[in-house]
Amino acid sequence: MKKTAAVIAAFAAVVLAALLAYDGIANKEMSADFFAMNTYVTVKLKGTDSAECAQQAQKITESLDKEVLSRTEKGSLVYNFNQNGGGTFENEKGLFEYISVLLDVSEKSGGAFDFTLGAVSDLWSFGSAPLVPDEAELAQTLSHSGYEKLKFNGESLVYSDKKAVIDFGAAGKGIALDEIRSYLKDKRIKEAVVSVGGSVLLMGDKAFTVGIRNPEGNSGSYIAKLSVPGCCVSTSGNYEQQFEQGGKRYHHILDPETGYPADNGLVSVTIVSESGILSDALSTACFVLGLEKGRKLAAEYGCSAVFVTEDKTVYLEGISEDVIELTDSSYTLVIE
Ligand code: AMP
Ligand code: MG
C-alpha cells in the first residue's frame, strides 16, 4: 500500500514538473527593439514560438519598409514608382490592396487624407532641418499632388502627373501591424504588443491598457488611460515632429488644401480599429479634418476615436466613458 502511494506521489511530481515546464514554454516572453519606417519599433511576444516570431516580425517590418513602402530606399516598389514619375508596374506584395484602402480613405475624407503629398513634405524637411518653404514653391509643388490623379488601369497603376510623390508616412506603420498580425495568427503566441511609432497592435484574450499621450510631456507621459480588447490603436499628434520659426510652431501633418500644417484646434487623434492600415490612415485623416468632420469619418468606418483639443478637452467617438480614465486633472472629458 505504501509502495503504491509512493508511486502515485512520484507520478504526480513528474506530471507537475512537466506542466510547470510546459507553462514556462507557453509563457515564454521575447522582445525585439529596432528602427524601421523612420521610427522606433518594439515587439513584445508571449508564447511558445515567441523567439522565432520576434525575429520574424522584425524581418517583416524591415522588408516591408525597404522593399515596398519606403520612398527613400532605392529599389523599393514605391521608390521605383516615384522615380518613374507615375509609370506603371505589376501588382506586387500587396501594394495594390494598400493603395485601394488609402484611395478610399482619401475619397471619404474629401481629400483631407492625401498620400501623394511626398514632395510637399520634402519641402518642409521634417526629420532633417525643417523650415517653412517658399510660398510660391509650395503652391507649385502642391499643384502636382492629388490622390485623384492616381488610377488603376488593369494590372497597372497610372499617375497622370509625373511630379507627384507617393508617401506612405501616414499609413505604413499600420500596414506593418497588419502584416505582423497575419503572420502571428497561426503561431503559438498568446499575447503580442507591437508598436511601430504611434501605432500599436494588441493581440491576446484580455483587456489592454493604452495611454493617450500628454502632448506637452515626453513619450512616457499620459493624460488618459483607455481599456481596449485586442485591436490596433494609432495616434496622430502635432507634437510628433514640430519646429518653431518666427515665433510660430509648425508640425508635420499637412492640410492638402494649403500645403501648410493642419490647424484646427486638435493636438491629437487616436483611432481604435481591427485594421492597422485603417487606424493609422484614419488618425491622420481625422487630425486634418478636425473634431466634427473627423468624428463622422471615424464613425463611417465603424472605428472608435479619442480627440484631444488645444484647450485641453477630450472628446470620444464610439467609446463609452467607462473604458477611459483621465489621469491628468488639467484635462476635461466631454461626453456627448
Ligand atoms: P501620422 O504620424 O501617421 O499621422 O503620419 C504623418 C505623416 O504622413 C507625415 O509625416 C507625412 O509623411 C504624411 N502626411 C502629412 N500630411 C498628410 C495628409 N494630409 N495625408 C496623408 N499623409 C500625410
Ligand atoms: Mg497615420
Task: Quick: pLDDT tens for 274-296.
Answer: 999 999 999 999 999 999 999 99
For residue 168 and ligand 1, the question of a CB distance below 6 A is answered with no
In this prediction, residue 336 has a pLDDT band, given cuts at 50, 70 and 90, of: confident
Mutate which of 104, 117, 148, 288 for ligand 1? The one with the most ligand atoms within 8 Å of its CB, which is 117
In this prediction, residue 89 has a pLDDT band, given cuts at 50, 70 and 90, of: low
Q: Ligand 2 center to residue 14 CA distance, Å?
A: 52
What is the structure's pLDDT at 158?
A: 82
Closest ligand 1 atom, residue 284 Cα: 4
For residue 319 and ligand 1, the question of a CB distance below 6 A is answered with no
Residue having the nearest C-alpha atom to atom 8 of ligand 1: 170
pTM exceeding the 0.85 threshold for the entire prediction: yes
For residue 277 and ligand 1, the question of a CB distance below 6 A is answered with no
Task: Quick: pLDDT tens for 216-260.
Answer: 888 789 999 999 999 999 999 998 888 999 999 999 999 999 999
Q: Ligand 1 center to residue 114 CA distance, Å?
A: 8
DSSP tag of 64 = I
Q: Which stretch of 26-30, 300-304, 327-331 has the lowest confidence by average pLDDT? A: 26-30
In this prediction, residue 166 has a pLDDT band, given cuts at 50, 70 and 90, of: very high
Q: Ligand 2 center to residue 255 CA distance, Å?
A: 14
Q: Ligand 1 center to residue 240 CA distance, Å?
A: 11
In this prediction, residue 124 has a pLDDT band, given cuts at 50, 70 and 90, of: very high
| Cα–Cα dist 316/331, whole Å | 13
What is the mean pLDDT of the segment spanning 175-182?
Answer: 98
Residue having the nearest C-alpha atom to atom 11 of ligand 1: 169
Q: Ligand 2 center to residue 47 CA distance, Å?
A: 29
- As a whole number, the mean pLDDT across the chain is 91
For residue 294 and ligand 1, the question of a CB distance below 6 A is answered with no
What is the structure's pLDDT at 11?
A: 61
Closest ligand 1 atom, residue 197 Cα: 2
Q: Ligand 2 center to residue 281 CA distance, Å?
A: 4
| Cα–Cα dist 237/240, whole Å | 6
Mutate which of 98, 105, 122, 252 for ligand 1? The one with the most ligand atoms within 8 Å of its CB, which is 252
CB-based contacts of 325, cutoff 8 Å, min separation 6: 224, 225
Count of other CB atoms within 10 angstroms of residue 173: 31
What is the structure's pLDDT at 26?
A: 81
In this prediction, residue 62 has a pLDDT band, given cuts at 50, 70 and 90, of: very high
In this prediction, residue 40 has a pLDDT band, given cuts at 50, 70 and 90, of: very high
For residue 309 and ligand 1, the question of a CB distance below 6 A is answered with no
Cα-Cα-Cα-Cα dihedral sign, residues 26, 210, 304, 42: negative
Instruction: Specify burial of residue 59 (Cβ count, 10 A radius: 0-12, 13-18, 19+).
Output: exposed
What is the structure's pLDDT at 219?
A: 79
What is the structure's pLDDT at 94?
A: 83
Concatenated DSSP letters for 179-235? Answer: HHHHHHTTSS-SEEEEEETTEEEEESSS-EEEEEE-TTS-TT-EEEEEEE-SEEEEE
Indicate the helix (H) or strand (E) that contains 13: helix 2-26
For residue 126, which of 33, 249, 216, 293 has the smallest C-alpha distance? 249
In this prediction, residue 88 has a pLDDT band, given cuts at 50, 70 and 90, of: low
Q: Which of the pair, 27 or 142, is modelled with greater confidence?
A: 142
What is the mean pLDDT of the segment spanning 163-179?
Answer: 96
